[in-house]
Chains A and B, each alone.
Chain A
Amino acid sequence: MRVAIIKYNAGNIRSVDHALKRLGVQALITDDHESILSADRVIFPGVGEAASTMAYLKERELDRVLKELTCPVLGICLGQQLMCSWSEEGDTPCIGIFDQPVRRFPADTLKVPHMGWNSLERVNGMLIPHELEGSYVYFVHSYYVPLCPETAAECTYILPFSAALQRDNYYATQFHPEKSGDPGELILKHFLKL
């Protein structure tokens, strides 16, 4: 199986690569359109800021390539947010695979970013095995996708938000499966088998 990890100006790409290696998968980290379009699985990871990463993706037309994919695609963290239609971070129009906004957590007694382990609730859809209902996974984020018809798992921090999304062949998680121990490993394995 050919797994492509989208190479762009965001962090976290190496972590995902490492997690796949632990599963015995040698992924290709690439920004080459052909390699991405011909892959069996595409992972769109990322840690960073929305406006500058979107600008980079547009310049290389990776936004268009991502929309054209027909294989299972997994967006992680910033990857998930960039797959939405717009982000409050820098008032940035995004790729628009999920027709949802990305909002900043409101000021609260709880601090932002939301960092650490939190539990998955109302798990549905095909990405996350249902036995992981209630399992703890690792989050680091200041922006979130509200609950919506595409929500495939929920989490609550300050307010309930989408911990995962699914639409057609597109899957996304706000948490980091590659940093989420056993549950995370199970999700990645599951993604590779979809």
Chain B
Amino acid sequence: MIEIIPAIDIIEGKCVRLTQGDYTKKKEYGDPLEMAKKFEDHGIGRLHLVDLDGAREQRVVNHRILEEIAARTALLIDVGGGLRSDEDLRIVFESGASMATGGSIAVRDRELFLSWLKRYGADRIILGADVREGLVAVSGWHEETSLELKAFVADYRSEGIQKVICTDIDRDGMLEGPSLGTYKELKAGDSGIQLIASGGIGNMEDIEQLEEAGIDGAILGKAIYEGRISLKTLENYIIKNI
């Protein structure tokens, strides 16, 4: 039931993983298109594409890669990282994204983010809530705010947001388990939310725990790239749990 969503994070055209959002702790894993095709071959239906150059430059940068993956696979792609303007959004949707995730912009410019929600609809606009110790962080996670996660999410839920990707920054790239308590709490207060967990997932038990908690999706990064969870294992999981 829980949707398996592999992540492809991009820096300078390459597929990379960072640890806890730190650009100096970067590891490269080759060509994003080849990686996307490999995911597709194992029955994966959806991809979380993060434009890390975009996150740093605060505008969409790697849309050519998005375009290539969208043209040469049938994956549903949600894109995040650096989306700050109407122009950025137009570019990612024209390049083949099915969904766009706004994180920093949702903190900094509520009005603009809500105008996207109105224009593209709750199926296509995802709220990205990146959190560190209960507080929302922005700008590729280099700044923290004083916003509490729950209040931040509840506000946008009341405005019509349905899909929320919640990333626990301290767990990201650590493979030590997701922030289960945070997700359970969000879901407990709001059962209609479509909640996607991100950060820390290191093995299949983590996925099963999230599934049991009724979480709607799980973003997997390093666990796949470092071979902790094989694509074959994910394929079998998808067959059993479709």
Contacts and interface: CB of A to CB of B under 8 A. Distances in A.
B45 A138 contact: yes
Contact of B242 (A118, A119, A140): A140
Given A11-B242, A18-B1, A140-B239, A111 B41 contact: yes
Nearest to B43: A115
B44 interface: yes
Contacts, number: 45
B43 A136 contact: no
Given A115-B43, A116-B74, A117-B45, A179 B98 contact: no
A14 interface: yes
Given A15-B1, A138-B45, A182-B123, A116 B242 contact: no
Contact of B74 (A18, A77, A118): A118
Given A18-B1, A116-B43, A181 B76 contact: yes
Interface in B1-54: 1, 40-45
Contacts of A111: 41
B40 A116 contact: yes
B240 A11 contact: yes
A47 B242 contact: yes
B241 interface: yes
Interface in B119-139: 123
A22 to B, nearest CB: 9
Majority-rule SS of B interface residues = loop
A12 B99 CA distance: 25
A153 B41 CA distance: 23
B88 interface: no
Contacts of A7: none
Interface string B143-155: 0000000000000
Given A18-B1, A111-B41, A117 B75 contact: yes
Interface in A141-170: none
A64 to B, nearest CB: 28
B1 A140 contact: no
Nearest to A139: B43
A18 B235 CA distance: 21
A115 B239 CA distance: 9
Contacts of A181: 76, 98
Contacts of A119: 74
B242 A12 contact: yes
Nearest to B98: A181
Contacts of B76: 117, 181
Contacts of A41: none
Of B43, B98, B238, which is in contact with the most chain A CB atoms at under 10 Å from its CB? Answer: B43
B123 A116 contact: no
Nearest to B44: A116
Interface in A49-89: 77
Contacts of A77: 242
Contacts of A116: 40-41, 43-45, 74
B74 A117 contact: yes
Contacts of A138: 45
Interface string B224-242: 0000000000010011111
Of A111, A116, A136, A176, which is in contact with the most chain B CB atoms at under 10 Å from its CB? Answer: A116
A115 B41 CA distance: 7
A106 interface: no
7 contacts: A47-B240, A47-B242, A111-B41, A115-B43, A136-B74, A140-B43, A140-B238
Interface of B: 1, 40-45, 74-76, 98, 123, 235, 238-242
Given A15-B1, A116-B74, 5 more contacts: A11-B242, A18-B1, A117-B76, A179-B45, A181-B98
> Which 10 A-B pairs rank lowest in CB-CB distance, beginning with the nearest?
A115-B43, A117-B74, A136-B74, A140-B242, A116-B43, A47-B242, A116-B40, A138-B45, A12-B242, A140-B239
